Amino acid sequence: MSDTPTPPRAPGGRAAMKKELPEHLKAYRGVWVFIEYEHGHIHPVSLELLGEGRKLVDKLKVDLAGVLMGASQDDLLRAAAECFEFGADVVYLVVDPVLAHYRNEPFTKAMTDLVNIHKPEILLLGATTLGRDLAGSVATTLLTGLTADTTELAIDDERSLAATRPTFGGSLLCTIHTLNYRPQMATVRPRVMAMPARQPGRLGRLVEHPLHLVEDDIITKVLQFIPDRDSHKAQLAFADIVVAGGLGLKSMENFQLVKRLAEVLGGEYGGSRPLAQKGWITAERQIGQTGKTIRPKLYIAAGISGAIQHRVGVEGADLIVAINTDPNAPIFDFAHVGIVADAVELLPVLTEAFRQRLSLHYVSGNCVAS
Amino acid sequence: MHIVVCIKQVPDSAQIRVHPVTNTIMRQGVPSIINPYDLFALEEALRLRDKVGGQVTVLTMGPPMAEDSLRKALAYGADRAVLLTDRHFAGSDTLATTYALANAIKKVSETWRPPEIVFTGKQTIDGDTAQVGPGIAKRLNLNQLTYVSRIASFDRVAGGITVERRAEGGVQVLATRLPVLITMLEDSNEIRRGTMADALRAARAEVVKWSAQDADIPELALCGLRGSPTVVKKVFAPPARAEKAQQIPVTDRSWADMAADVMQAIFTRRPGIESDLLQRAEGY
């Protein structure tokens, strides 16, 4: 990905270059997903990537592989079985005591060794703190292209990976290709892709690889892991109902209206990037490309204009309701229900309407019961 | 002690607008700022220098106007600023960027002295890739510490450093040896207000400007667009959903009526939401 965003260019130049691969790169075949396995379980983003990888291999007519690393053979075999059930045809397994906890150095070596031996054409990783730490090192070691935080992956007519992601601070989308380098690498943020269905009993092929490293070779040591106590962090990403506010709320006091509606609906609240920058919400409550990606059943956006950076974080919602005073706000391009109104006025009335509906039922329920 | 902080001048994303008809970026009048994430890196570097002594060098790659951001960094208290600027760097992707920056850091090491720490922000707000830090670490063989929220201990004499870093579901405490590359997490500190003396010094200080040749970049073919494995094939605005949003009428209506309509639209489209809510309400 161009770190310096390049303005839209007329067709021509490098973008129009033929992607006929040099002979030695044609040997690269297959789609790999790095399986993030920590603290006894697979990160959901890795399974989501297996689902996405399946679509790519069906087009490419190649195998889908997961790459699993860790210290316990038993645990990893269980995880490998899970990968098969989520769509992997092959699992590459690296078991070594030095891989007990994630560290950049041994994981980078294990991954680059595997790539150099088996030559996959595509390598996908979750855009987590772990995946991003690893992806940058692996891509630099292999001297290949890496596209961060992609929101859409496709294969073009020349077997090339078309990786789409927001650009210009999330105001437009761009599609990026890796020319004349393999593997083509991309990261995808959690919850951007849908979780594939599990196919119980589905089997695959296991390939084990040794890692020639001893603990003394590795400079960085993990002293401790302190699990988060604040479980709210996970709740926003997985909530069924999310209410969020944007700059249209005009003040931090008005943002309380968002919290109140979320509370009545038993959901979580969040906000757009400018709110996080202004300090109205913590970074953990930011929804969008650089914050949390959500896939709730219901998403209510109050006073949010809906820039692409926000859109990609909420597009997985089943139902999007937008409240905004500007009829031309981009959020109305992807909302299912829209109302051109001042959220500051509407939110309290809407909160009251929901509260009454729910408490009315509560009363009538009581009547029936008695 | 020598610390290098890599910063980037970026457009203030809060002020970027897209032309509604042509879908092109309207750059006119959009102010440039230091990438906000880099300020956490700069502050951490300044604090460490204030504690153990030494110098902080800020480095950026960019157009000549990126000098503004370097002066700003000097005004915050950095000791020296280096601008890597050359048309050969135009169009660099992250791999080409790390090639240029890593070589520039080598030149910084030769010109002054090798840094014990290279700092970057966790990512930029325009590229949002978080790849440049790890790329520099790999190229310079620095021990890589990303998403660092706190430097827990630092021992220059023994060459050891212990940090807390954000990991999935918790905080990882890592110990490693210098030299290191650290990408700083947001909210880990707050950038200082520079002193008046620093502001005056920044206004007069010389910003070191290096071309690719000045920085002894070995291979120009690995820089800029030519050295970038990734290419942007197209830039576009996402299409609107085929199905238009259901608009709740607002003209001459009370807030209560509008609210009732919104609620009804939700329940009609997703009856499951209503039953979930009612079930939950009954649970109380």
Q: Do A140 and B95 touch (CB under 8 A)?
A: yes
Residue whose entry in the numeric block shows the structure tokens 């070995």: B218
Which domain does B88 fall in, by range?
2-222
End-to-end Cα separation, chain A, in angstroms: 65
Q: Do A339 and B248 touch (CB under 8 A)?
A: yes
Q: Do A174 and B234 touch (CB under 8 A)?
A: yes
- In chain B, residues with a C-beta closer than 8 Å to the C-beta of A8 are 24, 234-235
Counts for chain B of helices (H) and strands (E), in that order = 7, 15
Same domain, A207 and A93: yes
Angle between helices B132-140 and A129-142 (to 10 degrees): 50
Residue A143 lies in a domain: yes
Nearest to B5 by CA among B41, B37, B54: B41
Q: Are A284 and A245 in contact (CB under 8 A)?
A: no
Q: Do B231 and A221 touch (CB under 8 A)?
A: no
How many domains does chain B divide into?
2
| Per-residue model confidence as pLDDT tens for chain A (370 residues) | 444 444 444 444 555 555 578 888 999 999 999 999 999 999 999 999 999 999 999 999 999 999 999 999 999 999 999 999 999 999 999 999 999 999 999 999 999 999 999 999 999 999 999 999 999 999 999 999 999 999 999 999 999 999 999 887 677 889 999 988 999 999 999 989 999 999 999 999 999 999 999 999 999 999 999 998 765 555 888 899 999 999 999 999 999 999 999 999 999 999 999 999 888 999 889 999 888 999 999 999 999 999 888 998 999 899 999 999 999 999 999 999 999 999 999 999 999 999 998 885 554 444 443 3
CATH number of the structural domain spanning residue B213: 3.40.50.620
**CA-based nearest distance B210→chain A, Å:** 19
Q: Are A362 and B281 in contact (CB under 8 A)?
A: yes
Same domain, A361 and A237: yes
CATH number of the structural domain spanning residue A109: 3.40.50.620
Residue A13 lies in a domain: no
**B175 and chain A: CB distance < 8 Å anywhere?**
yes
How are beta strands B170-177 and B160-167 bridged, if at all?
Answer: antiparallel
Same domain, B215 and B248: no
- In chain A, residues with a C-beta closer than 8 Å to the C-beta of B184 are none
Residue A158 lies in a domain: yes
CA dist B283 and B274 (Å) reads: 14
ipTM: 0.90
Residue A12 lies in a domain: no
Residue A342 lies in a domain: yes
- In chain B, residues with a C-beta closer than 8 Å to the C-beta of A290 are 123, 125, 128
Query: Which residue of chain B is at minimal alpha-carbon distance from A337?
Result: B246
CA dist B104 and B83 (Å) reads: 10
Residue whose entry in the numeric block shows the structure tokens 């607002």: B250
Three-state secondary structure call for residue A366: helix
Q: Are A310 and A338 in contact (CB under 8 A)?
A: no
Determine the residue type at B239.
P
Residue A6 lies in a domain: no
Q: Do B241 and A277 touch (CB under 8 A)?
A: no
CATH number of the structural domain spanning residue A347: 3.40.50.1220
Determine the residue type at B78.
A
**CA-based nearest distance B232→chain A, Å:** 5
Same domain, A164 and A187: yes
Residue A222 lies in a domain: no
Which domain does A365 fall in, by range?
232-369
Residues 9-68 of chain B whose Cβ lies under 8 A from any Cβ of chain A: 11, 13-14, 16-18, 20, 23-25, 36, 62
**CA-based nearest distance B192→chain A, Å:** 17
Give Dmax over CA atoms of chain B in angstroms. Answer: 75
DSSP string, B182-211: EEEPTTSS-PPPPPHHHHHHHHHPPPEEE-
